[in-house]
Amino acid sequence: MADVTLRKVIKRYDEVEAVRGIDLDIADHEFVVLVGPSGCGKSTTLRMIAGLEDITDGDIMIGGDVVNDVPPKDRDIAMVFQNYALYPHMTVAENMSFGLRLKRYPKAEIKTRIDEAARMLDIVELVDRKPKQLSGGQRQRVAMGRAIVRNPKVFLFDEPLSNLDAKLRVQMRIEIKKVHQKVRTTTVYVTHDQVEAMTLADRVVVMNHGRIEQIGTPNDLYHNPATRFVAGFIGSPAMNFMPCRLEDVAGKLNIRLTDRIAFPLPPGRAARYQGVGRNEKLLLGLRPEHITEAKAHPEPGVEAFDAVLDVTEPMGMETLIYFTLEGAQICGRVNPNAGARAGGPLRLAVDLNNMHLLNEVTGVVI
Amino acid sequence: MASTVMIDKAAPTRNPAYGSMSRDRAWALKWSYFFLTLFAIFSLVPPLYMLITSLKSSAEISAATNPWWVFHPTLSNYVGLLTSNQFLTFFRNSVLVSIFVVTITMLISVPAAFALSRMRFWGSATLATGVFLTYLIPDTLLFLPLFKMFAVFGDWTGIQLINRWYVLVVVYPTLTVPFCTWIMIGYFASIPKELDEAAIIDGASWLQTLTRIFIPVALPGIIAATIFAFTVSWAQFLYPLVFTTSTDQLVLPVGIITSLVKGDVFNWGQIMTGALLGAAPPLIIYAFLMDYYIAGLTAGATKG
């Protein structure tokens, strides 16, 4: 068990800078997920922590010791790969014990550890099989078992669920969470799937273009994104962005979306945005769940307007609706009984208490 | 009559797309069998002719009878060869040369291929290409300079290599090592990078990764390379012809020609027998290792 610290870590391949100065503190026992689109540098960062990639500049510390020049085998880490990377000629038990056998652990100790890990992962009856006799989910369990028996300081996961089908992925996600609750090993987990990131992480690190966009708890990122990238990346369906500007009407602050549609801001929001320039190009960020059917009784901060729907997607417990506003496609979530139908009109309401205001040029949430 | 199946002739025919596709496949199959048969005849007639001739006496070979039939079968050619010390010496020399060459080749080319394909060091890619280019130099171009080199080497050190069977153990690896290294580089490249990364994280050194992960996983490739090295060293003709002359130092291909062709007298029966017996070891080895050659041991390593 140990904490992991990255200080101004840079990775440069010839001309390309894959990781551009990352600072990250991961506490002991913490489960941290690095998430971002492909090419954002998350896997490179993980591989640098593992020691599989040299770092160009900066420091990586595991348990307080700088490990920049320490080879992978001496870092006391274990890694689970996307394609499992099981040794095909060894049985499950041999796969799991390979690292321990190399370190010349006593046989009895190895057996105890394998039994324990196999029980935890529910693969007891598989220990004598070869990898090719296992299903994808079972292989992933073995790969995790191989990490667990080592009892390392840090677990590293590199997109471990990407090769599984959707149903199995959900199941293994829960499995990974259970394992972490039992062994409490510091974990760094890389994924491009924001749902995985939200569900697994104590803290999520959102990366883009080799930089960290924001670090926070899943709820923190969801409700208080710092940038347009984070706001758009976290949450599904994604947050809507509508071009808008602020205007003063009779001493009150309004937000104007189109020539026809403008809403008064709720008092709390009005106070917060008072200093924003009236001519600045802004974006109104609203999550789909804050665009719903209009209720009979008006609530403070919730403003109604009329829209003609393009498409509806009934999901069972809710219906996703899509309409166009000034050329932008907007998604909302309404009650299945709200009478939404494609091509039909619907009176909608936006909850401005949960709005985000962004600077269109810089992408920063104000 | 209750079991009779009624066929409704008015019923619509089956999906034509499916039918035409299976017709294409049937034709493809017929053509491939036709050419396979043609090729099999083409390549099997010479050994068959050798077998027929080897079962004839010298008198019958020179008689004007049907050359494709044995009227008085005899094993005298086989008995004659297998009881002759000369032939057994050729055979022993061939076996010794092949065993040493295969061993030396694999000891060099497997670690070399591992280093070139996995341990990224300065110039490794250029070196890998260089290894392949070496193989492209024809051996007919090399035997004269090599001969000169061995002569000079003999003058300087007093160690005589020319006209010794073990000179071939020195020469053959120049042919087998580059090619086997190249085969193994290709095979190692097909092993996912994560496998050695997992081993390294598990605490394996490079040598342990090679011996405990790569060699077992790449066994089919290693066997393919072994077969190649064996075939080359068993069947080489030019080098042994040039470098060895004394009867007790000859290997099979050269030995059969030089000892069984005396002036303009061709002992056809024994030549054919010798050639057949000489072809037997590679044949047996191929037959036993073919399954390994084809089997993919990497199945299950990754998502597959």
* Best mutation target, B121, B190, B195, B201, to test chain A (most A CBs within 10 A): B201
Supply the pLDDT for residue B18.
53
Closest Cα in chain B, distance from residue A126 (Å): 14
Cα angle, residue A32 at apex, residues A182 and A38 outer, rounded to 5°? 130
Q: Is residue A108 part of a domain?
A: yes
Picking from B197, B201, B217, the nearest residue to A89 by CB comes out as: B217
Cα–Cα distance between A87 and A148 in angstroms, integer? Answer: 16
Question: Considering chain B, what is the average pLDDT of its residues?
Answer: 84
With contacts defined as CB-CB under 8 Å, which chain B residues touch A102? 202-204, 208
Measure CA A227 to chain center.
15
Report the pLDDT averaged over residues A248-267: 87
Structural domains of chain A, count = 2
Spell out the residues 6+ positions from residue B130 whose beta carbon is closer than 8 angstroms to its own.
none
Verify whether the Cβ–Cβ distance B297 to A89 is below 8 Å.
yes
Q: Per CB distance under 8 Å, which residues of B are interface residues toward A?
A: 192, 194-195, 197-205, 208, 212-213, 216-217, 297-304
Q: Tens digit of pLDDT for each residue in B173-210?
A: 988 999 899 888 888 888 889 999 999 999 999 999 99
Does A110 map to a domain?
A: yes
Q: A130 to chain B: nearest residue by CA?
A: B300
- pLDDT exceeding 90 applies to what percent of chain B? 28
CB contact under 8 A, A134 and B300: yes
Residues A201 and A317 in one domain: no
Helix B268-294, helix B85-118: angle, nearest 10: 30
Q: Do residue B300 and residue A79 have CB atoms under 8 angstroms apart?
A: no
Model pLDDT, residue B128: 86
CB atoms < 10 A from the CB of A29, how many? 15
Cα–Cα distance, B301 to A109 (Å, whole number): 26
pLDDT of B303 reads 38
**Is A219 within the bounds of a domain?**
yes
Interchain proximity B297–A72, CB inside 8 Å: no
DSSP state of B179: H
* Whether A110 contacts A138, CB under 8 Å: no
pLDDT per position as a tens digit, A306-327: 899 999 999 999 999 999 988 8
Residue A323 forms part of a structural domain:
yes
Chain-chain contact of A85 with B304 (C-beta, under 8 angstroms): no
Average pLDDT, chain A: 91
Residue of A nearest to B300 (CA): A132
CATH of the domain at A296: 2.40.50.140
Contacts of B302 in chain A (CB under 8 A): 83-86
Is 90 exceeded by the pLDDT of residue B100? Answer: yes
List, for residues B57-74, the tens digit of each pLDDT value.
888 888 878 888 888 888
Q: Can you tell me the distance from the alpha carbon of B270 to that of B278, in angstroms, rounded to the nearest whole number?
A: 12
Beta pairing, strands A345-351 & A57-62: unpaired
Choosing from A173, A193, A226, the residue where a domain stops is A226
CA–CA dist A140, B300 (Å, integer) = 12
The answer to whether the CB atoms of B300 and A103 lie below 8 A apart is: no
Q: Out of B203, B217, B300, whose CB is closest to A130? A: B300
Give the tens place of pLDDT for each residue, A220-231: 999 999 999 999
Contact A52 B303 (CB under 8 A): no
The pLDDT of residue B248 is: 87
Residue B251 has pLDDT above 80, yes or no: yes
Contact (CB<8Å) B303/A88: no
Q: Please state the rounded mean pLDDT for residues B272-292.
A: 84
Q: Are residues A197 and A256 in the same domain?
A: no
Q: A260 with A201, same domain?
A: no
- With CB atoms and an 8 Å threshold, state whether B197 touches A146: no
CA-based nearest distance A133→chain B, Å: 7
Cα–Cα distance measured from residue A188 to residue A26, given in angstroms and rounded to the nearest whole number? 8
Q: What per-residue string of b and e applies to A323-338 under the rule 16 or more CB within 10 Å gives b?
A: bebeeeebbbbbeeeb
Instruction: Please check the confidence at residue A345 and state whether its pLDDT lies above 60.
Output: yes
Of A98, A131, A133, which has the smallest distance from its Cβ to B301's Cβ? Answer: A131
Domain range for residue A17?
4-226
Query: What span, in angstroms and rounded, lies between the C-alpha atoms of A158 and A84?
Result: 10
Closest Cα in chain A to B203: A73
pLDDT at B113: 92
First to last CA, chain A: 39
- Both A222 and A244 in one domain: the answer is no
On whether both A213 and A253 belong to a single domain, the answer is no
Q: Which residues of B touch A51 (CB under 8 A)?
A: 201
Residue A232 lies in a domain: no
Q: State yes or no: pLDDT of A253 exceeds 80.
A: yes
CATH number for the domain that contains residue A87: 3.40.50.300
Q: Is residue B177 a contact partner of residue B105, using CB atoms and an 8 Å limit?
A: yes
Reported as a pLDDT band with limits 50, 70 and 90, residue B292 is low
Q: Residue B177's pLDDT is what?
A: 92
Q: Distance between alpha carbon A345 and the CA centroid of its chain, in Å?
A: 35
Which among A226, A259, A278 is the end of a domain? A226
Interface test with B, best of A74, A79, A82, A84 (most B CBs within 10 A): A84
Res B12 pLDDT > 80 = no
Domain assignment present for residue A364? The answer is no
Inter-chain CB proximity B203 and A102 less than 8 Å? yes
Average pLDDT over residues B243-266: 85
Q: Do residues A152 and A22 both lie within one domain?
A: yes
Q: Which residue of A has its CA nearest to B197?
A: A52
Amino acid sitting at position B252: L
Q: Are residues A272 and A215 in the same domain?
A: no
A28 closest CA partner among A57, A51, A61 = A61
Confidence of residue B302 (pLDDT cuts 50, 70, 90): very low
pLDDT in tens, B214-230: 999 888 888 888 888 99
What is the total residue count of chain A?
Answer: 366
Asked if A85's CB is within 8 angstroms of B194's CB, the reply is yes
Of B192, B203, B216, the CB nearest to A83: B192
A144-161 burial, b at 16+ Cβ within 10 Å, e below that, comes to: bbbbbbbebbbbbbbbbb
Contact at CB, B300 and A132, closer than 8 angstroms:
yes
Same-domain pairing of A182 and A276? no
- pLDDT at position B19, please? 55
A87 neighbourhood in chain B, CB within 8 Å? 195, 198-199, 213, 217, 301
| Domain identity same for A92 and A134 | yes
Which residues of A lie closer than 8 Å to B, measured between beta carbons? 50-52, 71-73, 77-79, 81-89, 98-99, 102-103, 130-134, 136, 139, 146, 150, 163
Q: Which chain A residues are Cβ-neighbours of B301 within 8 angstroms?
A: 84-88, 131
3-state secondary structure chain A: CCCEEEEEEEEEECCEEEEEEEEEEECCCCEEEEECCCCCCHHHHHHHHHCCCCCCEEEEEECCEECCCCCHHHCCEEEECCCCCCCCCCCHHHHHHHHHHHCCCCHHHHHHHHHHHHHHHCCHHHCCCCHHHCCHHHHHHHHHHHHHHCCCCEEEEECCCCCCCHHHHHHHHHHHHHHHHHHCCEEEEEECCHHHHHHHCCEEEEEECCEEEEEECHHHHHHCCCEHHHHHHCCCCCCEEEEEEEEEECCEEEEECCCCCEEECCHHHHHHCCCCCCCCCEEEEECHHHEEECCCCCCCCEEEEEEEEEEEEECCCCEEEEEEECCEEEEEEECCCCCCCCCCEEEEEEEHHHCEEEECCCCEEC
Q: Quote the CA–CA distance of A84 and A131 in Å, as a whole number.
A: 10
State the nearest Cα–Cα gap between B129 and chain A, in angstroms. 22
Question: Cis link prior to A37 (omega < 30° from 0)?
Answer: no
Query: Residue A212 corresponds to which amino acid?
Result: I
- Please report the pLDDT score of residue B295 as a whole number: 54
Q: Of A176, A201, A226, which marks where a domain is finished?
A: A226
Comparing CA positions, the residue from B231, B94, B251, B233 lying closest to residue B172 is B233
The complex's ipTM works out to 0.84
Residues A174 and A303 grouped into a single domain: no
A137 found inside a domain = yes
Contacts of A71 in chain B (CB under 8 A): 200
A156 and A295 in a single domain? The answer is: no
How many Cα neighbours within 13 Å face the side chain of B129? 3
**How many residues make up chain B in this entry?**
304
Identify whether A133 is part of a domain: yes
Does A131 contact B297 at a Cβ distance shorter than 8 Å?
no
Q: Are residues A210 and A259 in the same domain?
A: no
pLDDT at residue B5 in the model: 45
How far apart are alpha carbons A357 and A269 in whole angstroms?
10
CA dihedral B296→B298→B299→B301, nearest 10 degrees, is: 180
Q: Between chain A and chain B, how many beta carbons pairs sit less than 8 Å apart? A: 84
Question: Which is higher by pLDDT, B63 or B93?
Answer: B93
